[in-house]
Amino acid sequence: MAERKSSIMGLIFQKKSLFCLFSVTSILFMLSWLFVLRLDHKFLRPMLSSTIVDGNSASQIQTHGKPLITSDRVIHEEELEGQRKDNLVTCNPNNMVLKVFMYDLPAEFHFELLDWKSEGKGVWPDIRNEVPHYPGGLNLQHSIDYWLTLDLLSSEFTETTNARSAVRVHNSSEADVIFVPFFSSLSYNRHSRVAQNQKRSTDQLLQEKLVKYVTSQDEWKRSAGKDHIVLAHHPNSLLYARWKLWPATYILSDFGRYPTNIANIDKDVIAPYKHVVKTFVNDSSGFDGRPTLLYFQGAIYRKDGGFIRQELFYLLKEEKDVHFAFGSVQKNGIRNATLGMRSSKFCLNIAGDTPSSNRLFDAIASHCVPVVISDEIELPYEDVLDYSKFCVFVRTSDALKDKFLVNLIRGIGREEWTRMWQRLKKVENLFEYQYPSKEGDAVQMIWQAVARKAPTMRMKAHRSKRFSHYDTREDGELRSVPLPRNLAE
Ligand SMILES: *[C@@H]1O[C@H](CO)[C@@H](O)[C@H](O)[C@H]1NC(C)=O
Ligand SMILES: *[C@@H]1O[C@H](CO)[C@@H](O)[C@H](O)[C@H]1NC(C)=O
Ligand SMILES: *[C@@H]1O[C@H](CO)[C@@H](O)[C@H](O)[C@H]1NC(C)=O
């Protein structure tokens, strides 16, 4: 299974430039061949249409009653063509590796938050000897900063292979982007409470220190921060610094708690949560192996999300094959949720107090077709990934109509469901965080998403320099947005 998966992902990513070249030359070759034969050879017509025309090639072949295409090469070509349409490959022959300069921030901003202690002067652990452990449990769902930083550190001593999408460079003039390795989600999770003898939380103090550090660096001044990458995956992380560091590109879970001038889909990158239920390895369940039609397990929220959940509960509670229960998926509940998702065809993802949650990624890891009811949700790498192939999206206003949801779901038959289930098994790797990172996993996908933003970031950085020759103002001057009233002191 793992081998097969990696060979599929290999086809998608590693060989993509080769593959693009191969497809293009093969199609050109066939076209020229057909041209020579003046397109009137009766054996060739179906071949032309089946290879180049989208869709109903199979029926065309069948109408001729016998296998017209005997050449292995053509069939192979067709399969590849199908794979390409099926998967997320866009031709990118120069397969760029992103060059990343990482600030050597004091360890209190990163690995010390993991209780790692630096020995001597170094701020980074030597991960060839020891990889600091990340605290488990629900903290893990926002651990993106940890995996990205480990990947950058490891880029210095492992060979740059096709699997690697980013490398650390030490000369910031040569970098595409500047990475700020503050483990902001962990800082929020561990230190956001104001201790008795404190005026401000340790998390806030760290953020203030971070802003001071980063904005005084030459790299920040050079670009006014426009080529910087700052992590804030937990919706409440970076609560103060976000108002100062916003010229940077943020890596976020959604925009629920951000005004659009601070964060938006054009500027920023959406990263998946790390799923908390285990990946369903060797899943051979299929349509009949999943008796529950629709599964939902989650908390009730008092805000808007709570209203929708409550309404849906009343709409669905009479359906026998629907599991709809309140109570959060935590601790020993994870085991229960794992079993529940693995034995369900569809898994509901309803907006909570933020538009996104790790439940979507738990559903993907369980190969339970996600049904997303969250109008404001933003999805990772949606510029290269078509979620409609393995998720069902329902507008909130539709979902609240009587019978709408359940009729929609029951209307998805065995064949269509199976296609989505198989698709989930193919894409699950794109949402997997791991160290060492592997080709096409979440770490590499996030770097690639950053790489697709890099040209725009560079352009903005250049624009910010326009008047630098005579402007007496520091070019990288901090143009902060005023703190909202509830945060101002
Ligand atoms: C950094 O790179 C720039 C541009 O390539 C070069 O001019 C400069 O000398 C380099 N600095 C160091 C310290 O190597
Ligand atoms: C999955 O299947 C492979 C090959 O059949 C086997 O080696 C592996 O142990 C299985 N893994 C699990 C978790 O069942
Ligand atoms: C899982 O939860 C459901 C309801 O929430 C409960 O009926 C069931 O007994 C639980 N199963 C296990 C294995 O804990």
Q: What value does the mean pLDDT take over residues 425-454?
A: 96
Are 79 and 108 contained in the same domain? Answer: no
Q: How far apart are the first and last CA of the chain?
A: 56
49 belongs to a structural domain = yes
Domain boundary (430, 449, 476) is at: 430
Place of tokens 């907006």: 351
DSSP E strands, 351-399: 369-373, 392-393
437 belongs to a structural domain = no
**Nearest protein Cα to ligand 2, atom 5:** 1
440 belongs to a structural domain = no
- Using DSSP, state whether 336 is helix, strand or coil: helix
Rounded to an integer, what distance in angstroms lies between the CA atom of residue 280 and that of residue 365?
A: 6
Q: What is the mean pLDDT of the chain?
A: 82
- Using DSSP, state whether 56 is helix, strand or coil: coil
486 belongs to a structural domain = no
**Nearest protein Cα to ligand 1, atom 11:** 171
Residue 91 has pLDDT above 80, yes or no: no
Q: What value does the mean pLDDT take over residues 356-384?
A: 95
219 CA distance to ligand 1 centroid (A)? 13
384 CA distance to ligand 2 centroid (A)? 30
Rounded to an integer, what distance in angstroms lies between the CA atom of residue 109 and that of residue 51?
A: 55
Identify the band that residue 83 occupies on the pLDDT scale cut at 50, 70 and 90: very low
Are 193 and 315 contained in the same domain? Answer: no
7 CA distance to ligand 2 centroid (A)? 16
Q: What value does the mean pLDDT take over residues 254-268?
A: 94
Q: Report pLDDT for 483.
A: 65
Ligand nearest to the CA of 326: 3
Q: Is 71 exposed, middle or buried (0-12, 13-18, 19+ CB in 10 A)?
A: exposed
CATH number at residue 304: 3.40.50.2000
Ligand nearest to the CA of 334: 3
Pairing between β-strand 249-252 and β-strand 269-270 as defined by DSSP bridges: parallel
131 belongs to a structural domain = yes
Give the atom of ligand 3 at the shortest distance from the alpha carbon of 332: 14
457 CA distance to ligand 2 centroid (A)? 44
310 belongs to a structural domain = yes
Give the atom of ligand 2 at the shortest distance from the alpha carbon of 282: 1
Residue 73 has pLDDT above 50, yes or no: no
Are 37 and 156 contained in the same domain? Answer: no
Q: Which two tokens stand for residue 82?
A: 């199908």
Are 177 and 113 contained in the same domain? Answer: yes
User: What phi, psi does 222 have (nearest 5°)?
Assistant: -60, -35
Residue 12 has pLDDT above 70, yes or no: no
pTM metric for this prediction: 0.79
Rounded to an integer, what distance in angstroms lies between the CA atom of residue 83 and that of residue 85?
A: 5
Q: Report pLDDT for 18.
A: 57
For the segment 276-325, what is each residue's pLDDT rounded down to a tens digit?
999 999 999 999 999 999 999 888 766 666 788 889 999 998 999 999 98
Ligand nearest to the CA of 279: 2
Are 186 and 303 contained in the same domain? Answer: no
Are 187 and 265 contained in the same domain? Answer: yes
- Could you tell me which residue, 425 or 73, shows the higher pLDDT? 425
Instruction: Write out residues with Cβ below 6 Å of ligand 3.
Output: 325, 336
- Could you tell me which residue, 50 or 132, shows the higher pLDDT? 132
- Could you tell me which residue, 61 or 41, shows the higher pLDDT? 41
DSSP E strands, 166-319: 166-169, 177-180, 228-231, 249-252, 269-270, 292-298
121 CA distance to ligand 2 centroid (A)? 45
314 belongs to a structural domain = yes
Are 140 and 188 contained in the same domain? Answer: yes
Q: Report pLDDT for 236.
A: 95
336 CA distance to ligand 3 centroid (A)? 6
456 CA distance to ligand 1 centroid (A)? 23
Residue 252 has pLDDT above 60, yes or no: yes
Range of lowest pLDDT (149-163, 250-264, 295-309, 348-362) = 295-309
Give the atom of ligand 2 at the shortest distance from the alpha carbon of 281: 13
Are 264 and 368 contained in the same domain? Answer: no
Ligand nearest to the CA of 101: 1
Based on the structure, what is the number of domains in the chain? 3
Q: Which of 324, 330, 336 to mutate to test the pocket of ligand 3 (most atoms within 8 A of CB)?
A: 336
448 CA distance to ligand 1 centroid (A)? 25
Are 63 and 111 contained in the same domain? Answer: no
**Nearest protein Cα to ligand 2, atom 4:** 1
329 CA distance to ligand 1 centroid (A)? 51
Are 266 and 308 contained in the same domain? Answer: no
**Nearest protein Cα to ligand 1, atom 5:** 174
Are 127 and 213 contained in the same domain? Answer: yes
Ligand nearest to the CA of 297: 3
Q: In terms of residue numbers, what domain contains 392?
A: 292-430
Instruction: Write out residues with Cβ below 6 Å of ligand 2.
Output: 1, 281-282
138 belongs to a structural domain = yes
Q: Cα angle at 446 between 445 and 451, to 5 degrees?
A: 95
Q: Is 180 exposed, middle or buried (0-12, 13-18, 19+ CB in 10 A)?
A: buried
Are 241 and 118 contained in the same domain? Answer: yes
Q: Helices in 346-485 by DSSP H: which ranges?
A: 359-365, 396-399, 404-410, 414-427, 442-463
Domain boundary (221, 236, 270) is at: 270
Give the atom of ligand 1 at the shortest distance from the alpha carbon of 171: 1
Q: Report pLDDT for 405.
A: 96
